[in-house]
Amino acid sequence: MRRFLFILSVFFCISLTACAAPAEPDAGARLAALNVGKGDCLLLMLGDNAYLIDSGYDYTWNLLREALTQYGVSRLNGVFLTHCDKDHAGGLLPLAQSDIAVDAWYAAAIYYDVKPGEHPMELAAAERGDTVRYLNAGDALSLGADASLRVVGPLTCNTENENNNSLVFYVDTAEGTLLFTGDMKLDEEYELLQAGLITAADLLKVPFHGDNTASSQAFVEAVNPQIALISTSSIQEPDTPASSVLKRYGKAGAGVIVTQEYPRGVELTLRGGKISAEEIVWDLPDYSRYVTAAIDRSDDLLILRSGSDQDISLAGWIVFSTRGEECVTLPADAVLPANGVFTLGTRATDGDADLRADIKRLWHKSKFDRCVVFDASGGVAAVTDNGIAE
């Protein structure tokens, strides 16, 4: 049973059934928060319209692609990037290289410490021959007949921390109001509060992964959300969600939902003034039941073993090294044989390997390194490490 924090009169409808069907006419405003670790990847569905707010990492693209498939989304009416950090922007280029139609690309007009020609949204849009629409505080967009978006921040350029240049905006719908905050920290919070731009919202995407350098008492009181959604991974960022932040939202009467509690993510629905939550569950193979992984550090080799009596296609699977942040996508002809072994090497591998990635090394020789193997739908198939103490 997934743990929830129930506070006061917040209404939850928890189900372990699949919640990825296309929207019905009275489906309300739906937000799918995908579990991309300590990152943001949010799919907002308003009737027939769909919007992506941040895109996770490059190595979590399979999960985003699967979500779009499962929700029947072949066209995104808009893609929004709150800021340029890789845990928000990593999926943009794979998205642009996919067959998903994108009507418009949006990013904050204020940003810092991005080299000319390297803005991730510009690179993604350029793949399609498109341009980026840059948003400023005070801008407004129509998201359909009954929904609109209003930008409140950033107001000024912060040259010390790019998180404080996060795009902050409200989405107002007939069902309720959502507030998206990117990785805004206390400095940007304070500036927006002083300007009187932070007002109440039913559903809040909590700033900066629930870190204690955001979500001030004044901010929490001003927003006063029914639901506080935190996108994070305590493995990647042990200080999140901070206990002080959880306590603050709890005292304000908010129900707190953390994406890391759900393998794929969680869907939140605003309908008739109430919010319901369902775990995202798809009818897909769970390869973690059959596949294990091990690292031969001395030969820079990854060994995948199968306990299944059938061959497993590894096409599109992603192997990720947390230390070096190397990401290897396995080719269409890669196969893990029934009850057999598949090996992945690099240029540093001396022994035999079924496949050699054209990179210098994949695993660190002297520091802790974790391996995460993602299947083609973004599920975690196997996790291991290089055997060095963390």
pLDDT values of the chain reduced to their tens digit, one per residue, 390 residues:
333 332 223 333 333 334 555 555 567 899 999 999 999 999 999 999 999 999 999 999 999 999 999 999 999 999 999 999 999 999 999 999 999 999 999 999 999 999 999 999 999 999 999 999 999 999 999 998 799 999 999 999 999 999 999 999 999 999 999 999 999 999 999 999 999 999 999 999 999 999 999 999 999 999 999 999 999 999 999 999 999 999 999 999 999 999 999 999 999 999 988 999 999 999 999 999 999 999 999 999 999 999 999 999 999 999 999 999 999 999 999 999 999 999 999 999 999 999 999 999 999 999 999 999 999 999 999 999 999 998
180 membership: H or E segment, kind and range: strand 177-180
Residues 267 and 244 in one domain: yes
Helices (H), the chain: 61-70, 86-89, 92-96, 120-127, 186-194, 217-223, 243-251
- Which pLDDT does position 145 carry in this prediction? 75
Residues 158 and 134 in one domain: yes
- The total of structural domains in the chain comes to 2
Which amino acid, residue 203? L
Residues 273 and 296 in one domain: no
Give which of 138, 191, 137, 197 is closest to 164, Cα–Cα: 191
Residue 17 lies in a domain: no
Q: Cβ distance 334 to 354 under 8 Å? A: yes
Residue where one domain finishes, among candidates 242, 257, 279: 279
- What's the burial of 361, exposed, middle or buried (CB within 10 Å: 0-12/13-18/19+)? middle
Residue 240 lies in a domain: yes
- Which pLDDT does position 24 carry in this prediction? 57
Give the list of residues 6+ apart from residue 184 with CB closer than 8 angstroms, or none: 153, 163, 164, 166, 168, 192, 207, 208, 214
Residues 298 and 237 in one domain: no
d(CA 87, CA 110): 19
Residue where one domain finishes, among candidates 279, 302, 325: 279
Q: What are phi and psi of 294, to 5 degrees?
A: -150, 150
Residues 305 and 337 in one domain: yes
- The edge-to-edge listing of strands for the beta sheet with 255-258 is 140-142, 147-153, 168-173, 177-180, 203-205, 227-230, 255-258
- Which pLDDT does position 2 carry in this prediction? 33
Residue where one domain finishes, among candidates 262, 279, 296: 279
d(CA 40, CA 20): 19
Q: Cβ distance 256 to 334 under 8 Å? A: no
Residue 23 lies in a domain: no
- Which pLDDT does position 25 carry in this prediction? 52
* Dihedral-angle region of residue 379 (phi above 0 means left; psi in -120 to 50 means alpha; beta otherwise): beta
Residues 129 and 179 in one domain: yes
Q: Assign residue 374 the CATH number of its domain.
A: 2.60.40.1260
Which amino acid, residue 320? F
Give which of 250, 178, 246, 248 is closest to 32, Cα–Cα: 178
Residue 203 lies in a domain: yes
pTM above 0.85, yes or no: yes
The DSSP call for residue 232 is: -
- Which pLDDT does position 383 carry in this prediction? 97
Residues 197 and 67 in one domain: yes
Residue 189 lies in a domain: yes
Residues 200 and 308 in one domain: no
Residue 14 lies in a domain: no
Give which of 332, 362, 333, 330 is closest to 346, Cα–Cα: 362
- Which pLDDT does position 6 carry in this prediction? 27
- Which pLDDT does position 28 carry in this prediction? 86
- Which pLDDT does position 21 carry in this prediction? 52
Give the list of residues 6+ apart from residue 51 with CB closer than 8 angstroms, or none: 43, 44, 45, 76, 77, 78, 79, 80, 143
